[in-house]
Amino acid sequence: MKKRILFSLTLLAAVTAVSARQPDLVQYVNTLQGTNSDHDLTRGNTYPTTALPFGMHTWSPQTGENGSGWKYQYAKDSIRGFQQAHQCSSWTRDYCVFSLMPVTGELATGQHERAARFSHDNEIAKPHYYCVELDNGIRTEISPTERGAHLRFTFPDSGDSYIVLDGYNGLASVRIDTRANRITGWVTNGAGLRPGFRNYFVIQFDTPFYDYGTWEARENIRSPRNTSDEGRGRGAYVRFSPGVTVEAKVASSYISPEQAQLNLERELGPYQNLDETKEAAWQVWNDHLNRILVEGGSEEDKATFYSCFFRASLFSRKFYELDPNGKPYYFSPNDYQVHDGYFYTDTGFWDTFRAQFPLSCLLHPTMQGRYMQAMLDVYDQCGWLPSWSFPHEAGSMIGNHAISLFADAWVKGIRTFDPEKALEAYYHEATNKGPWGPANGRDGWRDYYLLGYVPYPEVHEATAKTLEYAYDDFCGYALAKMTGNDFYADVFARQMYNYRNVFDPATGFMRGRDRSGNWTPQEFDPTEWGGPYTEGAAWHYLWSVFHDVEGLKSLLGGDDDFVLKLDSVFTATNDFKVGTYGRVIHEMAEMKLMDMGQYAHGNQPIQHMVYLYSYTRQPWKAQYHARNVMRRMYDATENGYPGDEDQGQTSSWYVLSALGLYSVCPGTDQYVLGSPLFPKTTVTFEDGRQLVIEANGNSDENLYIKSASLNGVPFTRNYLTYDELVSGGILKYEMSSQPNRKRGTRPQDWPFSLTQAK
């Protein structure tokens, strides 16, 4: 026993010593980054998420109406609730929401009458702590746990004090236990959720209720002294004495009320008050953010970096819970059954396969491994692989990118799943069309195999689909090849060059093509959005050949012409035609506003493009443009993103880019070089190994790589492998204000292409 205590003390001392050395990086995060958004122009479409990393339930102040996807808009001046939030994007709205709102003076229950004005001057927005003092004098504070939160409401000295529970815009059940100072219940709301999908909550107050009642949202009718109710938009209210400070511990479960109570006891039980929960949450975030320690840059750059790193650490969320023995299990949103194991959801692979998951492979391989198994569980549960999960499978956007995650994990040594089952599931995905959403199965799959492309206009967004299917088939081929599966390697290898079939040599762009092979529409304008493309134009989709840049170069006439075409993205006028959209969509407006020609970093299709210079004789242009995009398009403010953030993708672009890396082709183990942002960056991997990235002489002007070495060995390649990175050591750059026109210019320096460079 003594020995154990001694050991614990030693451990505690060691942990404290580590913490003491850790700088406070949480201070740099602004969770309001990107919140100044609306339908027509988004600067991130984010909300001030108060949560632990990848937490199951998160919290946010609410300025929008119940059910609106724009739950918090920076320009709004009143708050109508503090809600449990799960939203991926304003465009998806949310699910299983409920909110708490403190009210002073007269009781006001309805979402309009209870709204209270506030100013950003009286707001603190950090990952581990959100605080706002409303103009009416009530202070609300929130600190998160993974499946719960600690809230504190401090009321002004005069007037009654109320807390209103809003069951939101779907079915809700509430029960007030006056003896235990507790409200329990459940909510079911959100698109596509059926009865039976319940978010069970427990709200444990530390103060007795003076008075209480239930209310109904549609007519805003109150039932004083009523202790329970169930139906659409049901809520509750409780009254306290004036001037009181009330703390509430809240936790939820998708499994059962008992599990909600267990989550509350386990996660919030150890903490006597909000300050303790806040301290614990700070520690979790500070440990997390210290996984990448940047040094030597400006305070603004650090704020941008850590705000983006925070956003890169929220999705996909952990959807599993821990049973009384600590074993993971979950309620599956796909079959409404409870299963053993880990589960993750709330992400669109179309966005996040590009950089968010490749970043996770570097930082969180254990979680990534669990995720791979969870994807196969989804296949078992609903018959299809995930593509857009929110929280059930929605099949939104295009492509079958689960295979990209599988191949990427395998090539990086994350081999927690049966590759044959993954290939079988992908084969099924690629040779069928599912019942819902374009990315549930494969739209136009039969023609894709018979013609070698998806015909347009028969199939909506056909050319974008052809390009992404060809990349996915490369991933299927790569996984099959790595695991010795000749059958599937052969099947998918036949399609992975299909990008060639939508390339029109006369115009030099990827174009729509009808069944007979005619380019369509006949009148071609590379600035015209929609039609054969998804949320973009020909300028953006020309580059969607992640796996065979050399092949794309050949189509465009070789290295010089390829570079000219890349250059012309930035020198072209930034005009656009609305095309089949028929109106300006926000992505067009954002491209115009950014004023970098046809470069549209506000949306995902082109986000890898600047890194394609690293596949050419002019790799320094990747360094120039990557740095330029970091500088021009990101900051830590409410206007901090160039468009929708999208579940960590646009943030992960920045995080990787600031390390001087980007994952152009997930499914290979390569990270392509750009320009590291900070003079020194230390990445600590899960196993404790560290990679120190030193960029000597780095500055705004000295953005070019003069020379590079890894652990003392000079190299001229324009990429590093996953193993090289996670093995750790010292990656050293000499930076310069002038490009080194000799470094990285030979074919053997270039990253992976299916077609070998000559």
Cis-peptide into 699, omega within 30 deg? no
Span 581-620, contacts to Ca ion by CB under 5 A = 603
| β-bridge partners, 58 | 85
Q: C-alpha 65: how far from its chain's center?
A: 24
| Least distance from Ca ion to the Cβ atom of residue 43, Å | 13
| Least distance from Ca ion to the Cβ atom of residue 649, Å | 8
State both tokens at 251: 């936790």
| Least distance from Ca ion to the Cβ atom of residue 352, Å | 11
| Least distance from Ca ion to the Cβ atom of residue 708, Å | 33
Residue 146 or 351: the one with the smaller Cβ distance to Ca ion is 351
Residue 35 or 111: the one with the smaller Cβ distance to Ca ion is 35
Q: How far apart are CA 215 and CA 238, in angstroms?
A: 11
Contacting range for Ca ion; rule: CB under 5 A; set: 266-274, 392-400, 639-647, 747-755 = 639-647
Residue 42 or 618: the one with the smaller Cβ distance to Ca ion is 42
Q: C-alpha 222: how far from its chain's center?
A: 40
Can residue 534 be called a binding residue for Ca ion (CB under 5 A)? no
Contacting range for Ca ion; rule: CB under 5 A; set: 59-67, 243-251, 576-584, 638-646 = 638-646
Residue 548 or 646: the one with the smaller Cβ distance to Ca ion is 646
Residue 60 or 92: the one with the smaller Cβ distance to Ca ion is 92
Residue closest to 264 by CA, chosen among 193, 179, 206, 189: 206
Residue 45 or 173: the one with the smaller Cβ distance to Ca ion is 45
Contacting range for Ca ion; rule: CB under 5 A; set: 3-11, 412-420, 562-570, 640-648 = 640-648
| Least distance from Ca ion to the Cβ atom of residue 354, Å | 11
Can residue 644 be called a binding residue for Ca ion (CB under 5 A)? yes
Contacting range for Ca ion; rule: CB under 5 A; set: 336-344, 461-469, 643-651, 670-678 = 643-651
Span 454-513, contacts to Ca ion by CB under 5 A = none
Query: Which residues have C-beta within 8 Å of that of residue 121, sequence separation ≥ 6?
Result: none
Buried b (16+ CB within 10 A) or exposed e, 159-196: bbbbbbbbbbbbbbbbbbeeeebbbbbbbbbbeebeee
Span 111-150, contacts to Ca ion by CB under 5 A = none
Residue 429 or 644: the one with the smaller Cβ distance to Ca ion is 644
Contacting range for Ca ion; rule: CB under 5 A; set: 290-298, 437-445, 588-596, 641-649 = 641-649
Residue 348 or 676: the one with the smaller Cβ distance to Ca ion is 348
Cβ pair 476, 404 in contact under 8 A? no
Q: How far apart are CA 51 and CA 249, in angstroms?
A: 14
Q: Would you call 248 exposed, middle or buried from its count of C-beta atoms within 10 A (0-12, 13-18, 19+)?
A: buried
Beta strand 139-144 pairing with 129-133? antiparallel
DSSP 135-166: TTS-EEEEEE-SSEEEEEEE--SSS-EEEEEE
Cis-peptide into 391, omega within 30 deg? yes
| Site map (CB under 5 A) of Ca ion, residues 171-210, x = contact | ----------------------------------------
Rounded to 5°, angle at Cα 341 from 340 and 345: 115
| Least distance from Ca ion to the Cβ atom of residue 644, Å | 4
3-state secondary structure of 320: coil
Contacting range for Ca ion; rule: CB under 5 A; set: 204-212, 552-560, 645-653, 750-758 = 645-653
| Least distance from Ca ion to the Cβ atom of residue 42, Å | 9
Radius of gyration of the chain (CA): 26
Residue 30 or 603: the one with the smaller Cβ distance to Ca ion is 603
| Least distance from Ca ion to the Cβ atom of residue 377, Å | 27
| Least distance from Ca ion to the Cβ atom of residue 641, Å | 10
| Site map (CB under 5 A) of Ca ion, residues 285-304, x = contact | --------------------
Residue 184 or 649: the one with the smaller Cβ distance to Ca ion is 649
Cβ pair 438, 511 in contact under 8 A? no
State both tokens at 159: 């007037």
Residue 56 or 397: the one with the smaller Cβ distance to Ca ion is 397
Amino acid at 710: L
Residue 585 or 677: the one with the smaller Cβ distance to Ca ion is 585
| Site map (CB under 5 A) of Ca ion, residues 303-322, x = contact | --------------------
| Cα distances (Å, whole numbers) of residue 651 to 35, 46, 376, 441, 549 | 14, 11, 27, 28, 24
With CB under 5 A, what is the number of residues at the site for Ca ion?
A: 3
If DSSP states are collapsed to H, E and C, what string results for 471-512?
HHHHHHHHHHHHCCCHHHHHHHHCCCCHHHHHEECCCCEECC
Q: How far apart are CA 331 and CA 310, in angstroms?
A: 27
Q: How far apart are CA 660 and CA 434, in angstroms?
A: 39
| Least distance from Ca ion to the Cβ atom of residue 584, Å | 16
Q: How far apart are CA 678 and CA 17, in angstroms?
A: 26
Contacting range for Ca ion; rule: CB under 5 A; set: 123-131, 142-150, 291-299, 642-650 = 642-650
Residue 229 or 646: the one with the smaller Cβ distance to Ca ion is 646
| β-bridge partners, 273 | none
Residue 346 or 644: the one with the smaller Cβ distance to Ca ion is 644
Can residue 247 be called a binding residue for Ca ion (CB under 5 A)? no
Contact pick of 393, 646, 694, 724 for Ca ion (by CB under 5 A): 646
Q: How far apart are CA 575 and CA 564, in angstroms?
A: 19
Contacting range for Ca ion; rule: CB under 5 A; set: 232-240, 244-252, 325-333, 636-644 = 636-644
| Least distance from Ca ion to the Cβ atom of residue 45, Å | 9
Q: Which residues bind Ca ion (CB under 5 A)?
A: 603, 644, 646
